[in-house]
């Protein structure tokens, strides 16, 4: 009877709670974007897809690429912007054919200085990726 | 009008929620470019024609869940938060149709707890993010004219300012961080930056009031505020996908006891659907 009551009244909210808590954990400890992952953090930060990825001090842009390559690169960079894991970074480096032993990866996010109506950027994430 | 509302009130909550949810999926699927969802809705419509009690069948919702989950798994980094709520809704409908006891009470209870959790996490995430309280998030929307879009819609001068700001902001990636780029933006009026910060705080307060409203006993105050909240979000942010889901949850919460409130949420849901059909709003 208790199990039935739990399933009826609390199972779905419990699942929501567990997913949202896990997402907040990932936000705090894995630099995941608050926008995605079921934690309801939309609008807490600027949309992550406008962040910039710089590798070895070069901005990764999809401008000028053929449509197919551009889409593939966008997808790989979007994944890093949402959740910068070693796996996602490795996938991007492979796509860019960067086979150096050590690669500096930085994500910059836009920032506003509202007192002076100025638009600038700040470092959100930085890592030095080493080939396994 | 009264007859229309009375007729709406005669529909069971489960049927109304199921119909709204399937309508949402039908209208939502082309924007998602998700072929399997189109198949799903087509199958659902055939089923509706053959069997009018489709919404009472657990396996019907199980199939829908089976068709929604692959997208969640493959696009977990890209799907919006309302996609998660869609999955929770289907799970709830599966449970309700499986046990078939106290359906309205179970739906209302779950809707209340789910809405409380959604808004609580929305508030929590904003409060733990210093960027939000500094106005960063709203500033991005405001300086490009994407916040309060309809308020500024008819002012050409403001439109020009937002367009110039958008072009200026697009230049940021050209500069390396070491160059310390500081791009000057234009304000459409004098206290615009202050307004952005106030609006950021106001949003958090409105979300806290939403949670409070869910537990108010005075029904007119409770639903009056929530409908006002939903319409305000629709005008300022055009979050039509998420708002549609919130409307469905509110329909669950109201049940068929308070006919005018139920009609208000159905009307807001229809408004959101209309926005999605004409290509407006975020999904």
DSSP states of B255-281: TTT-HHHHHHHHHHHHHHHHHHHTT-S
- Terminal Cα distance for chain B, rounded: 31
Mean pLDDT of chain B: 89
Q: B151 pLDDT band (50/70/90 cuts)?
A: low
Query: What residues in A contact B110, CB-CB < 8 Å?
Result: 9, 12-13
Question: What are the residues facing A106 on neighbouring strands?
Answer: A54, A126
Number of DSSP helices (H) and strands (E) in chain B, helices first: 13, 1
Query: What residues in A contact B162, CB-CB < 8 Å?
Result: none
Q: B5 pLDDT band (50/70/90 cuts)?
A: confident
Dihedral, CA of residue B151, residue B156, residue B157 and residue B161, to nearest 10: 80
Query: What residues in A contact B90, CB-CB < 8 Å?
Result: none
Question: Is a pLDDT exceeding 90 seen at residue B105?
Answer: yes
From B67-71, B120-124, B260-264, the region with the lowest mean pLDDT: B67-71
Per DSSP, the three-state class of B184 is strand
Which stretch of DSSP H or E encloses residue A121? strand A118-130
* Segment B171-187 mean pLDDT: 92
Please indicate whether, in this complex, the C-beta atoms of B125 and A46 are within 8 angstroms of each other.
no
Question: What are the residues facing A58 on neighbouring strands?
Answer: A55
CA closest to B136 among chain A residues: A112
Question: Is a pLDDT exceeding 90 seen at residue B256?
Answer: no
**Which of A42, A116, A121 comes nearest B177 by C-beta?**
A121
For residue B31, what pLDDT is reported?
67
Query: What residues in A contact B195, CB-CB < 8 Å?
Result: none
Question: Is a pLDDT exceeding 70 seen at residue B107?
Answer: yes
Question: Can you tell me the distance from the alpha carbon of A31 to that of A107, in angstroms, rounded to the nearest whole number?
Answer: 11
Question: Is a pLDDT exceeding 80 seen at residue B148?
Answer: no
Whether residue A42 lies within 8 A of chain B, CB to CB, comes out as yes
Question: Can you tell me the distance from the alpha carbon of A47 to that of A124, in angstroms, rounded to the nearest whole number?
Answer: 13
Q: Where are the beta strands (DSSP E) in A3-101?
A: 52-55, 58-59
Query: What residues in A contact B185, CB-CB < 8 Å?
Result: 117-119
CB atoms within 10 A of CB A52: 20
The angle subtended at Cα B221 by Cα B216 and Cα B224, nearest 5°, is: 125
Question: Can you tell me the distance from the alpha carbon of B69 to that of B109, in angstroms, rounded to the nearest whole number?
Answer: 25
Please indicate whether, in this complex, the C-beta atoms of B185 and A37 are within 8 angstroms of each other.
no
Q: Which residue has the higher pLDDT, B139 or B279?
A: B139
**Which of B79, B122, B196 comes nearest A40 by C-beta?**
B122
8 A C-beta contact, residue B94 and residue B58: yes
Q: B93 pLDDT band (50/70/90 cuts)?
A: very high
Per DSSP, the three-state class of A123 is strand
Please indicate whether, in this complex, the C-beta atoms of B173 and A41 are within 8 angstroms of each other.
no
Nearest in space to B200 (alpha carbons), one of B133, B124, B122, B131 = B133
For residue B184, what pLDDT is reported?
94
Please indicate whether, in this complex, the C-beta atoms of A13 and B143 are within 8 angstroms of each other.
no
Q: Nearest-CA distance from A31 to chain B in Å?
A: 12
Residues A58-104: pLDDT tens digits?
999 888 778 888 899 999 999 999 999 999 999 999 998 887 778 99
Q: B32 pLDDT band (50/70/90 cuts)?
A: low
Spell A78-90 as b/e; 16+ CB within 10 A means b: bbbbbbbeeebbe
CA closest to B137 among chain A residues: A46
Where are the alpha helices (H) located in B33-102, listed in sequence order? 35-50, 58-74, 81-99
Question: Can you tell me the distance from the alpha carbon of B80 to that of B41, in angstroms, rounded to the nearest whole number?
Answer: 20
**Which of A24, A108, A112 comes nearest B135 by C-beta?**
A112
Whether residue A29 lies within 8 A of chain B, CB to CB, comes out as no
Domain locations in chain A?
1-42, 46-132
Looking at chain A from residue 92 to 121, which residues have their Cβ under 8 Å from any Cβ of chain B? 106, 108, 110-121
In this prediction the ipTM stands at: 0.92
Q: Nearest-CA distance from B19 to chain A in Å?
A: 21
């Amino acid at each position: 009877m208790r199990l039935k009551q739990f399933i009826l009244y609390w199972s779905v909210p419990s699942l929501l709670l567990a997913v949202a808590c896990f997402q907040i954990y990932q936000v705090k400890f894995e630099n995941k974007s608050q926008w995605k992952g079921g934690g309801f953090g939309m609008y807490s930060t600027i949309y992550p897809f406008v962040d910039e990825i710089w590798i070895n001090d070069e901005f990764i842009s999809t401008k000028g690429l053929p449509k197919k390559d551009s889409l593939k690169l966008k997808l790989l960079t979007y994944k890093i912007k949402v959740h910068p894991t070693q796996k996602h970074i490795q996938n991007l480096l492979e796509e860019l054919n960067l086979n150096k032993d050590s690669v500096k990866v930085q994500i910059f996010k836009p920032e506003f200085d509202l007192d002076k109506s100025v638009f600038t950027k700040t470092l959100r994430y930085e890592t030095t990726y080493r080939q396994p | 009008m009264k007859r229309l509302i009375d007729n709406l009130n005669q529909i069971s909550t489960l049927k109304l929620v199921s119909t709204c949810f399937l309508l949402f999926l039908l209208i939502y699927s082309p924007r998602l470019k998700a072929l399997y969802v189109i198949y799903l809705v087509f199958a659902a419509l055939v089923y509706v024609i053959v069997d009018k009690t489709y919404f009472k069948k657990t396996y019907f919702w199980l199939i829908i869940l089976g068709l929604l989950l692959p997208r969640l798994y493959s696009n977990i980094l890209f799907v919006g938060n309302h996609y998660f709520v869609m999955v929770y809704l289907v799970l709830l409908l599966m449970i309700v149709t499986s046990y078939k006891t106290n359906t309205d009470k179970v739906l209302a209870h779950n809707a209340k707890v789910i809405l409380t959790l959604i808004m609580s996490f929305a508030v929590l995430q904003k409060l733990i993010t210093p960027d939000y309280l500094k106005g960063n998030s709203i500033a991005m929307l405001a300086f490009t004219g994407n916040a309060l879009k309809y308020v500024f819609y008819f002012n050409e001068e403001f439109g020009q300012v937002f367009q110039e700001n958008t072009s200026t902001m697009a230049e940021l990636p050209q500069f390396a961080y070491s160059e310390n780029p500081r791009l000057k933006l234009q304000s459409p009026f004098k206290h615009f930056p202050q307004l952005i910060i106030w609006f950021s705080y106001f949003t958090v307060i409105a979300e806290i009031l939403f949670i409070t409203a869910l537990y108010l006993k005075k029904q007119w105050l409770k639903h009056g505020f929530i409908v006002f909240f939903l319409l305000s979000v629709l005008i300022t942010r055009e979050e039509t996908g998420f708002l549609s889901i919130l409307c469905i949850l509110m329909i669950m919460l109201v049940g068929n006891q308070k006919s005018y409130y139920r009609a208000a949420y159905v009307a807001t849901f229809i408004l959101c659907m209309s926005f999605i059909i004409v290509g407006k709003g975020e999904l």
